[in-house]
Structure formats: C-alpha cells, structure tokens
Amino acid sequence: MRIKLFIICFFTTLHAFAQQGSGYSRDELERRKQQIQAEIEEAQHQLDETKKNKNATMGQLHALENKLAARQRLINNVNDEIDNISSNIQTSAGEVVILRETLEKYKIRYAQSIRYSFESRSSFGMLAYMFSSSSFNDALRRMQYLKKFRDYRKQQVEQIRITQAQIEHKIGILNAEKAQKDELLSTQMQQKQVLQKETDETNHVVQELKGKEKELVGNIEKNKKIAKRLDKAISDIIRREIEIARKKAQDEANKKAEEDKRAGINTAKSGGIKVSSGGTIANNTTNITANPKATAAGSNYSLSFTPEVTALSNNFLANKGNLPWPVEKGFIAERFGKHQHAVAEKVTVDNEGIEIQTSAGATARAIFDGQVVSVSYIPGMGQLVVLKHGEFFTAYSRLENVVVKKGDNVRLKQGLGSVMLNDDNIPMMHFELWRVGKGDKMAPVDPSGWIAPMR
C-alpha cells in the first residue's frame, strides 16, 4: 500500500511540475492562442492594405515582421500545449498502471476467498462449524463472521467492477489526449511551414527595399528632423505647464502669506499685545512666511497638485502595464529608443515614442483621464494633441480632424482625432509618454511598458 501511495504521489507531483514548467493552464493556453490568432488576422488585414501599393514599403515590412512575430508566438503556444498534454498523458498512463496493479490484487484476493468457500462448501461443514461453538454467544459471533465474510466477497466484486470502470475511463482520456497531441503536432508542422513561407516573403521585401536604400536613408534623415521638431514642441509644452503650475502655486502662497500678515496686524490692533508674567511685553504677531508646501512647489512640480490631480497621477502609475492602446487596433511598427533600422543597417534610429501602424480611418483615443494642454500643428507630423495626467503627459501626433481643444477634460478612451496617412499612404500614429520626476526632471519613457498587450 505504501508503494502504491508513493507512485500516485510521484505521478501527481510530476504532473504539477510539468504544469509549472509551461507556466500556463490548458484554458490559458487556449485563450492565448485565440488572442495571437486575432493579432495575425489583424496583421494580415493591414498587410493586404499595404499590398495595394505595388512597390514594397516600410509599412508592408512592418506588417510582415509583426505577423512573423505573432506566428512564432503561436508556434511557441502550440509547443506549450503539446508539453502540457504530454505531461497529462504521462500522468494518465501512470495511473492506468497503478489501477491495473490494484485490479490484479483484487482479483487474487477474490480468487482466494472463492477457493476457501469452495473447500468449505458443504452445508455439513458449515453446520459443524456452527455446532462446534463452545457457547451460544460463540455461535452468534461465528454467524456474524460468516455474514461479514459474505459481505467481504460482495465488496471485493464491487471493488473489481469500480476499478475496471476507472481503467476504462482513464484509457478513454488517454486516447483522447493522444489524439489531441497528434492534432497539435500536425498544427505545429503546418504553422512552421507557414512561418517559413512568411519569412521568405519578408526577406524578399527586405531585399526589394535594400534596392532603394539611398531613398530610404534620405527619408530617415528627413524624418529625424521632423522628430526633433516634434520632441522639442512636446518638451516645450510640458515645460510651460510646469512653469504655469509653479507660478500658480507661488501666487497662491503669496496670497496666503498676505492674508496671514493682515490677520496678524489686525490681531495686534485689536489688543493682541500681551504682557508676560515677568513684566515684559510679548507681541502676539509672528514673522509671516509663505506656505511651506507652496514654496517648495517652486522646485517640485508635483507639490503643486491638488488632491484630485495627485489621485489621478497615482492611478495612472497604478495602471502601468494595463493602460489601453491609443488606437483600437494596430501594432508597434517602430519601437522606443535607439535601435538599428530594419533595412538600412548602418542607420541608427532614436525614437522618443513608438510608431503605431493601424487601420484606415482609425481614431486616436486617450489612454487615461486627463486634460488637453495643447493642440498644435507640426509640419510633417500633422496635428499634435498633448494630455496632462498629473506628473504624466501623453502626446498623440500624425492626427487630423482633431475633435478636442485646449482646456478640455477628456475621459478614458475618448476620441481625440483621426489618424492620418504617412508618405506611403499607411495609417501611422506617433505616440509618446513623458513623466516629470523629482527636481522636475522630465523625460520620455517607453510606452510599450505601460500599455496592455493588444487584445
């Protein structure tokens, strides 16, 4: 019995360990697969749109690269599913072995009891066993023993029946899991073939674009200049908001100080001068200074916040990684920070935000509650909308038909304007996220770490 318990524990632990290895339950893997497939369908849709332009474009390359990445994640997900099912098969096979061993033991014991009954089958032998009792109570005990023996045989038959049913059930599960694994292996093979085909298509587009590298480099340099104008405009807007907040806080502090000073003078005039117990005169007025918090606001932007703005800023921070996308559908075509260009290998791109390739007619939307602090036009980048969320600022550019104005309070996912087409006739939005830290140091941060995975 101890050996059997040990084997059961071993297979249970092995199954749990394998589940931890993949990190996902079967339901989670299925949900993740559906999400990835939706991403692939969206990438394919945008790829079909870019293919309307017969010449290869960067937008087409971005769509292909995004589709490739999603396809690879799908294959990885299928691998996790296979590992999960393999673990279940191993566990089920081990349980079947244990159940068969248990069934064999039940059969042996039942055969022994049948053999014993056969050897003592004559009614004379049974009567002799009863009448050979030493007392009436002894006879009753012998009758109870015979009854328990019959019940024990019935119990053995029931144990054999239940165990056989368990084995049949486990074998059914095992066969189903093996069939599912075979199906997944077939899916894995198909997806690898599709991945290879898409890789070849991507390489073909890359080679075609390399043939236009000189033109690409020219566009990159032009876009760098445009990006510098955009980043300067955004930083100027944020710096202006910091100065406005400082001035407002300082004005309030001065106003409060003046009110306190007048209150002190009025107190003195109305008999606020007191004589101490030692006979010296003590003036009840004190040196009036500005509110310490407001004065400190001159060197720290966040100290000028009202409780409501502080709560908004804290909520923004608490939702890091779960903020909605600034468009309903799309993918990141150009990531944040310094990186090598996808085609022009000798060119380094330094992006203070992310480029989001989306669908035609897409609407830019606020990723959090906030206030519009600027709506302006940047040559080459279209309309720029900047929102303030406490110590955070979000900037949405390459927009047209903007539907908000400076001073508006906007809500989560509220529309700001439509995404315009770039030079390749592809809907592409530029999005930036800035944060003002201690000492009013402001800097862009990678938005991809703040917005949730596209669903």
- Is 80 in contact with 351 (CB distance < 8 Å)? no
pLDDT at 320: 94
Residue 424 within any structural domain of the chain = yes
pLDDT at 9: 46
Out of 281, 305, 329, pick the residue that ends a domain.
305
Residue 199 within any structural domain of the chain = yes
Residue 219 within any structural domain of the chain = no
The total domain count for the chain is 3
Using DSSP's 3-state secondary structure scheme, residue 300 falls into coil
Closest CA to 167 of 105, 92, 108: 92
pTM of the model: 0.65
Query: Are 331 and 291 in a shared domain?
Result: no
Residue 72 within any structural domain of the chain = yes
Out of 157, 189, 210, pick the residue that ends a domain.
210
The predicted-structure confidence for 228-263, as pLDDT tens digits, reads as follows: 899 999 999 999 999 988 888 888 878 888 887 877
Which tokens sit at 65?
A: 């690269």
The predicted-structure confidence for 38-76, as pLDDT tens digits, reads as follows: 766 666 666 666 655 555 577 777 877 887 888 888 888
Query: Are 205 and 70 in a shared domain?
Result: yes
Quote the domain boundaries for residue 390: 313-449
**Alpha carbon distance 384, 227 (integer Å):** 12
Query: Are 362 and 320 in a shared domain?
Result: yes
- For residue 321, the domain's CATH number is 2.70.70.10
Query: Are 298 and 396 in a shared domain?
Result: no
Residue 55 within any structural domain of the chain = yes
Residue 279 within any structural domain of the chain = yes
**Alpha carbon distance 126, 120 (integer Å):** 7
Q: Is the pLDDT of residue 279 over 50?
A: no
Q: Render the burial of 223-250: b for 16+ CB within 10 Å, e for the rest.
A: beebbeebbebbbebbeebbeebbeebb
